[in-house]
Chains A and B, each alone.
Chain A
């Protein structure tokens, strides 16, 4: 890392001498250890190290980027020269500019009690083997296919800019994933579950990971064995924090990304329906849903998968209130798009690996808790469903028309959650259809880990998404496939 830091400092001086108006160098050294098991047998494991440098420049209003794992001065000089040449060849009519931000010289790290290297290889494998024993003992033939993954990632990063910012960081993310198939009368149900957070090996115990995975599989097996097809039309729906979290991420987080709104992701992840809204009205004046809807993204939440204190453009992180009491309040901004909106960045620039450019990303996105108790949400529902978890989901590339297929779903009758499980109900709703139908939000909270895909080449960003229980009124269920 020390050699890399020296070269990053060298890159800044060299880039400035070659005529770049902005130059940023980012050195990343990472370690990734992982194991996979199927039905209690380790399929394989490995440890991979990666280290390299990325340099981003602005020259003549164009942007250039180069990266290499070969940490030599000559390689860096050649890369910078070519990146500047290509940036100039862009011949942009409108130059790219960055917002003015405070110079940052600091260090941050995610708190780790037990480093991954302190735990033996056998103990890590045994975690998966023992977890599988728990599942197999509980379910046997009811859960015939179990794939379990453990991923232990850590990195050190050094970012320096020609404006004087220097930020060093150390991050550590642990995650456990299951992809299991449960057998039932009508076939089977499948479930991909991801749990994760920033921290060390202690996370497994502190977050009750084994218990949470067991509980999730109890739901999966119940759904496979007990859920029944039922024709339901207009109905009230209570969704869990897991479902509220994915909706916060997909229906609100993604369309709030300024690079989408202004077209940069047009040929990849698409644009945003916010472009229409922001043509005629301003932030703070646009009603997105009922007053109970507040959606926040907060990178500074320690322990959550999207945790960071400074982004990859050296801007200090803070919570972003995307929707406040039903009104569109804030967008995700990096320095390029903050400049386009003539404001400051809110530190949304993240790059997944040394060889990727920083782009606007979410971090820890959640539906803010409300005033209801869990029980109060159900009190006046005569006929409804309670959707605790989901399987399939997708959304159009303007982030307006979404689909969430329920997995663990119960019928609600006369204010009570019954034991009757409904098989694969579909919420096929627009973003307004969801946010406008919210009339109750509970005080409790739950949250899984996830990976958010965006960018080209794809950058899978670790994120966290959660929320309380949320009540949606008068929902017409969508068409599934029988």
Chain B
């Protein structure tokens, strides 16, 4: 017995400890069915799939338009009480500080978009495994990538001014804390480079709705020029969009804000949202395919029978009477932009409407363009509204062009009037409200027109800052400080960046 057992023991002992050892603790991510960098970007399909995800972070920025409204006299923060989403409350009161979770997220999310675009750029010639993958339409695909990078940088520069600028590659952990802020002008120069590159390769028409087109890139470039007061460039670029005759103003202004009006003839660039892939993560509620801002702007506790179209929300971003009063008599846009819930309830007794009066900063008015509507969400209902965000409408192209022609080195007020009055004619349904003024009066008319045309679309704050009207039109605005938002404190602490003045 002893003779039989002993060799077994010793045999087992030696063989296992000597042979199987090394292999046992080796690891290949494939054992966990994980795709790694080495395996990816190996085909046209990989390149196309990865480009799709460069679009994704745009959806996460859905709360940026709320800030564009709330930081002006056009909208109140609302919410449940003074501490409900403190980040927005403080911006409304102009008491915001570098500690602001929404601004922090907007910062980080835009940089994720930039890193995703940079990763594509980094492996444009050869993939991570060192091979080059060429296919028809690759350049046009990269036009989308460069547009998106420009969009993210434009978002950052509008909000924060000078920001870290990097374009070569996705940053890794070792590049943490290595960058400083680049001057705003350098960032704009990069945005122009990216958009110019995109325009040269993008197609005028994309089969898939929501894909970046050449016109979207031109319209954004026009806007970027306008923000830099490069009016001649802006006029020229925007004129090429208009001249292409690819877009038109929809006759029923309100129809374009409905689900059925998405990606319509007036839509130059829309961020797409959907309720098709329901999402649920309250830790980061804004990062699904849905538009989280829609939930935020709805009337609280809104109920009614099946015929009533609206769903309830959280009463943020409440239009003010100041905005309501800015609409001239007969302006059809007022009742599209603003939902006066009590009037609506009384006008529609058949709906059996009940609702909760906004508990904080109530104005009785709501953002109707993005108000939650029944049947437009799914799953976790708060997080999955399908409403696209209209970034650039053709009306914007017209008004930007009008402003650019008015402010060009050699102003062309006739053209400016023409474009402005196109927008006004649609708003009033007649030509009786056409503007005939010129010069500075015309310019002010264009600016005022932007307020009503883009009411509750998140443009107002940036327009006021851009045109130097902010201090006179926004209560609490301090010149020299509030033109930009503070760099997030967390980033300052970690990356040792400079802060914007005044914060």
* Interaction A to B: no
Chain B interfacial positions (CB closer than 8 Å to A): none
